[in-house]
Amino acid sequence: MSSEANFTDIPQLRIESTGPALSPAQLIWRRFRKHRMAMAGIVGVILLLIFIIAGSIIVPETKANEVDLRARLSTPSEQHWMGTDSTGRDVFYRIIYGGQISLIVGFLAVSIAVTLGTLMGGIAAYYGGWVDSILMRITESMLSIPSLFLLIVLGKYFGKEVQTINIFGRSFSGSVGIVILVIGLTSWMYLARIVRANVLSLKEMDYIAASKSLGASNARIFFYHLVPNTLGAIIVASTLGLAGAILIEAYVSFLGLGIQPPTASWGNMLTGAQTFIQRGSWWMWVFPSLFIVFTILCINLMGDGLRDAFDPHSTRHL
């Protein structure tokens, strides 16, 4: 504030002098922090992660998959906080391990989708011409086939020989890997379009021409100059995509074509819920559903906040 006196007649400088110069990342973080709902979303996601991680440390996985036919369909009680399912497995424990699977599936599927989408969109825009035409027609074809339908078809293809995977001393149903791959393969198209549009405008800029004239290779220009400059859009799209992937996993598993038991996921805990509803066992589907809703809501709030934060024209939350 001491510098204010020297520059009173230059009003635009007064704004600058109220604090230290901020990098773009700091500006984005500042905008994001002011977005109350987005902060609430982040807090929600962190709480959820703590719940799942702490839960899986305290409760061994065998408890989540333990079948106890004498205690099947029991109401929430002190022994089973959220009741048991049709084979007597504890719903609360399954929510912990199901949450792990749902989040892992969402995260890895989005990673695949982001990689594919960035490459497809970026390469199409960067090379232009017939490369662009062909890649964009492929994108368009994939977009034209309703994704849930495509997912079911693909899931059946990859799901023919499901083996159990062993990672970190734990065994997962092989369907986890398939669901991850298939969701990734069916959800890269929107991002490809966004990246393409961004790269199309970026590649005409002078700094790209400068870098070309310095002899930079295509790969260098692509990964060092073009991709980082469209990172904002990629981060926003992948956050919202994470919510989408978790939701899709839930849908496919709910339809019985996704992750196969005994491995729990929030989606497959709900399989066949419509038949149990008439017997009144509401706890079987209400608790996993609430966890899905909470997760999706928090991630979407975060995504919304990020979108505003990355948009330099956005002033609403400043």
- Binding residue (CB under 8 A) for other proteins from 4, 16, 68, 140: 140
Give the interface segment with other proteins, choosing from 6-14, 50-58, 204-212, 284-292 (CB under 8 A): 284-292
Write the secondary structure of 197-261 as one string of H (helix), E (strand) and C (coil): HHHHHHCCCHHHHHHHHCCCCHHHHHHHHHHHHCHHHHHHHHHHHHHHHHHHHHHHHHCCCCCCC
- Binding residue (CB under 8 A) for other proteins from 26, 50, 137, 218: 137
The smaller minimum CB distance to other proteins, of residues 81 and 282, is found at: 282
Element (H, E) at 131: helix 129-144
Q: Give how many residues touch other proteins by CB under 8 A.
A: 44
* Angle, helices 283-310/231-254, rounded to nearest 10 degrees: 170
270 binds other proteins (CB under 8 A): yes
275 binds other proteins (CB under 8 A): yes
CB of 219 to other proteins, least distance (A): 28
* Radius of gyration for the chain, computed over Cα atoms and rounded to the nearest angstrom: 24
- Binding residue (CB under 8 A) for other proteins from 114, 226, 292, 302: 292
142 binds other proteins (CB under 8 A): yes
145 binds other proteins (CB under 8 A): yes
Report the C-alpha gap between 30 and 34 in whole angstroms: 6
CB of 81 to other proteins, least distance (A): 20
Long-range contacts of the stretch 142-147 (C-beta < 8 A, 24+)? 142/186, 142/189, 143/189, 143/190, 147/186, 147/187, 147/248
CB of 141 to other proteins, least distance (A): 4
Q: How far does CA 87 lie from the centroid of its chain? A: 31
Closest CA to 133 of 196, 223, 186, 191: 196
Q: Per-residue contact track with other proteins, 214 to 253, x per CB under 8 A?
A: -----------------------------x---x--xx--
Residue carrying structure tokens 């232009």: 128
Q: Before 262, cis peptide (omega within 30)? A: yes
3-state secondary structure of 13: helix
CB of 98 to other proteins, least distance (A): 14
Element (H, E) at 119: helix 91-127
CB of 285 to other proteins, least distance (A): 6
154 binds other proteins (CB under 8 A): yes
- Binding residue (CB under 8 A) for other proteins from 43, 67, 277, 318: 277
User: At residue 288, what are phi and psi to the nearest 5 degrees?
Assistant: -60, -40
- Binding residue (CB under 8 A) for other proteins from 300, 307, 309, 310: 300
The smaller minimum CB distance to other proteins, of residues 113 and 301, is found at: 301
Report the C-alpha gap between 271 and 306 in whole angstroms: 34
The smaller minimum CB distance to other proteins, of residues 208 and 248, is found at: 248
The smaller minimum CB distance to other proteins, of residues 108 and 301, is found at: 301
The smaller minimum CB distance to other proteins, of residues 173 and 300, is found at: 300
Interface positions with other proteins (CB under 8 A): 137-138, 140-146, 148-150, 152-158, 160, 243, 247, 250-251, 254-255, 257, 270, 273-275, 277-278, 280, 282, 285, 289, 292-293, 296-297, 300-301, 304
